[in-house]
């Protein structure tokens, strides 16, 4: 590989996160430049953050030199993808492995976005303060500088898995139900914050037994006006009686929660009107200045214990991410078919660290984690807390639905687009019980208001960082691994298994 290397800063659309992350991205860029210089490579910076798709097109589009994006906070996929798609100059996504700002989350999301549009790229990451001290990182960077690409170990990836006759029979039964009545997803808007990788659309969904009906998010406001105060008050009484602990203060009060319940009840009414099976809820960014955060409502939907319940969860995928919505609905049906509790949880792959000789991921997302994770009681909301969403991101007051996820065996999955085909990643692992001091350090080091799940995903950190194609993951308690492999194949997905060799 020849020529100077262009270093650019993908950004958030919002000014405040970019400003808050500026010292971190400046420091990381200095470390990257130092590492490149040590390898005898020259680099230059693309000026400023890329905060809109047009800026990516205008600033990255004309560059034919090799490029490195620096990921140390949450960024939008189009702020890289739209400027580099259709080009073939070497591209590297580089991240500091830190939980303070979700840079690795931005890297995973952007990588999945690039994969979905067929743009080749490589990844590199380090948790070292001095990047040149990390031999593994330096070796990857040198490989990329020399060849324009990085080859990653694939020992923990396979495309085959043993499926028992019982698991195959369960999957065949669920697939038959889906073929008799395909799954209807009610989509409240498109994916949020430029998650290109999270939108499949009817053309692809219909091939695997799903379809979508899009509803403008403005309906949440218009229809919400017709929700009676009695229904809202009854819903509030329900969540209080069932055990949610509200941490009110400042502008976050019971009235804020009741407005979140108004939106929850509005979604219930829309689900009933269209006889939908599951829902994808965009919320961000269009409703951020108009309605309270959707998180409390979305957590309730993913709980069997909820106001006006029919005894089932309603699978809700926050940020309208169909890459999680589809496997969440599939796993819910498999869990029910096996007599297990049906709740499935939506999380970000936020960060992690070593514990007892294995790597534990901090799974942490503001929306869509139901209360069952915190109590393993389908008839209770005990263990669920609601804190005000951070005001810097959410100006209208409203709370989260959060708690500490209990230990237990898990199955996890994720759908994604690769080479114009739908794929399903599937794995198994366990939620672990961390020592209080370590758990609190990790939780406080990320976003304390959000639900926490410390999970061994059954693979090494580097396998996930090198190969996983999303920042999101769907998690269910219980073993439906074989059933999920069989059902994915039955419905027409290509299947990839991630597990330690």
Instruction: Report residue 122 CA to chain centroid gap.
Output: 20
Token pair, residue 462, equals 């580097």
Residues of the chain above pLDDT 70, percent: 100
**Cβ–Cβ under 8 Å, residues 248 and 157:** no
Strand-strand pairing, 91-96 and 67-71: parallel
Enumerate the β-bridge partners of residue 188. 215, 281
CA distance 369 to 373: 8
DSSP annotation of 206: G
Quick one: which of 351, 499, 282 has its CA closest to 412? 499
Quick one: which of 83, 79, 34, 88 has its CA closest to 61? 83
Residue 239 has pLDDT above 80, yes or no: yes
Buried b (16+ CB within 10 A) or exposed e, 266-287: bbbbbbeeeebbbbbbbbbeeb
Buried b (16+ CB within 10 A) or exposed e, 401-423: bbbbbeeeebbbbbbbbeeeebb
Range with the poorest average pLDDT among 237-246, 327-336, 350-359, 363-372: 363-372
For residue 111, what are the contacts with CB-CB under 8 A and spacing of at least 6?
93, 121, 123, 469
CA distance 35 to 261: 51
Residues of the chain above pLDDT 90, percent: 93
pLDDT of residue 325: 97
pLDDT of residue 92: 98
The predicted model gives 11-15 an average pLDDT of: 91
pLDDT of residue 101: 81
The per-residue pLDDT of the chain, averaged, comes to 96
The separation between the first and the last C-alpha atoms of the chain, rounded to the nearest angstrom, is 34
**Cβ–Cβ under 8 Å, residues 168 and 259:** no
Could you give the domains of the chain?
Answer: 5-147 (3.40.50.10940), 165-498 (3.20.14.10)
pLDDT of residue 365: 87
- The pTM assigned to this predicted structure is 0.96
H helices, E strands: number in the chain: 16, 19
pLDDT tens for 414-473 read 999 999 999 999 999 999 999 999 999 999 989 999 999 999 999 999 999 999 999 999
Range with the poorest average pLDDT among 13-22, 45-54, 325-334, 382-391: 13-22
> Which residue would you say has higher pLDDT here, 1 or 130?
130
pLDDT of residue 10: 97
Quick one: which of 500, 372, 491, 360 has its CA closest to 428? 500
Classify residue 221 as exposed, middle or buried by CB count within 10 Å of its CB (0-12, 13-18, 19+).
middle
The full DSSP string for 124-182 is EEE--SSGGG-HHHHHHHHHHHHHS------TTEES-----HHHHHHHHHHHHHHHHSP
**Cβ–Cβ under 8 Å, residues 268 and 234:** no
CA distance 345 to 368: 6
pLDDT tens for 255-280 read 999 999 999 999 999 999 999 999 99
CA distance 391 to 443: 19
pLDDT of residue 501: 72
Q: Read off the pLDDT band of 408 (50, 70, 90).
A: very high
- Tokens 């708690």 appear where? 403
């Amino acid at each position: 590989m020849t020529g100077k290397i262009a270093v650019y800063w993908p950004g958030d659309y919002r000014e405040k996160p970019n400003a808050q992350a500026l010292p971190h991205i400046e420091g990381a860029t200095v470390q990257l430049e130092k590492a490149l210089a040590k390898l005898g490579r020259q680099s230059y910076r693309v000026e400023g953050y890329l905060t809109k798709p047009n800026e990516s097109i205008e600033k990255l589009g004309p560059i034919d030199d090799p490029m490195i994006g620096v990921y140390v906070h949450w960024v939008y996929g189009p702020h890289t993808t739209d400027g580099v798609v259709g080009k073939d100059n070497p591209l590297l996504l580089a991240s500091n492995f830190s939980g303070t700002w979700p840079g690795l989350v931005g890297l995973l999301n952007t990588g999945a976005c690039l994969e979905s549009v067929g743009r080749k790229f490589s990844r590199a990451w380090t948790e070292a303060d001095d990047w040149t001290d990390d031999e593994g990182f330096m070796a990857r960077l040198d490989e990329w500088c020399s060849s324009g690409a990085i080859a990653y170990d694939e020992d923990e990836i396979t495309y085959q898995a043993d499926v028992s006759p019982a698991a195959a029979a369960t999957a065949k039964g669920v697939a038959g139900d889906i073929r008799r009545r395909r799954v209807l997803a009610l989509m409240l808007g498109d994916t949020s914050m430029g998650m290109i990788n999270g939108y499949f659309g009817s053309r692809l969904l219909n091939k695997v037994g799903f379809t979508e009906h899009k509803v403008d998010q403005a309906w949440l406001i218009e229809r919400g006006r017709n929700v009676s105060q009695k229904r809202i008050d009854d819903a509030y009484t329900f969540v209080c009686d069932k055990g949610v602990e509200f941490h009110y203060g400042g502008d976050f009060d019971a009235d804020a929660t009741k407005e979140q319940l108004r939106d929850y009840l509005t979604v219930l009414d829309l689900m009933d009107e269209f006889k939908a099976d599951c829902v994808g809820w965009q919320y961000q960014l269009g409703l951020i200045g108009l309605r309270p955060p959707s998180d409390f409502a979305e957590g309730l939907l993913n709980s069997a214990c909820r106001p006006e319940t029919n005894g089932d969860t309603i699978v809700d995928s926050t940020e309208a991410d169909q890459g999680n919505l589809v496997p969440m609905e599939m796993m819910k049906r498999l869990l029910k078919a096996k007599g297990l509790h049906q709740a499935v949880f939506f999380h970000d792959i936020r960060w992690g660290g070593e514990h007892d000789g294995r790597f534990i991921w901090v799974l942490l997302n503001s929306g869509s984690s139901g209360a069952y994770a915190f109590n393993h009681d389908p008839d209770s909301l005990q263990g669920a807390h609601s804190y005000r969403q951070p005001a810097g991101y959410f100006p209208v007051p409203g709370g989260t639905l959060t708690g500490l996820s209990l230990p237990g065996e898990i199955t996890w999955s994720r759908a994604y687009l690769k080479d114009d085909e739908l794929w399903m990643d599937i794995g198994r692992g366990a939620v672990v019980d961390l020592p209080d001091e370590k758990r609190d350090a990790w939780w406080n080091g990320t976003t304390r208001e959000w639900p926490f799940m410390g999970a061994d995903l059954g693979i090494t950190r580097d396998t996930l960082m090198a190969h996983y194609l999303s920042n999101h993951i769907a998690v269910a308690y219980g073993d439906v691994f074989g059933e999920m492999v069989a059902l994915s194949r039955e419905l027409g997905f290509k299947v990839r298994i991630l597990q330690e060799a």
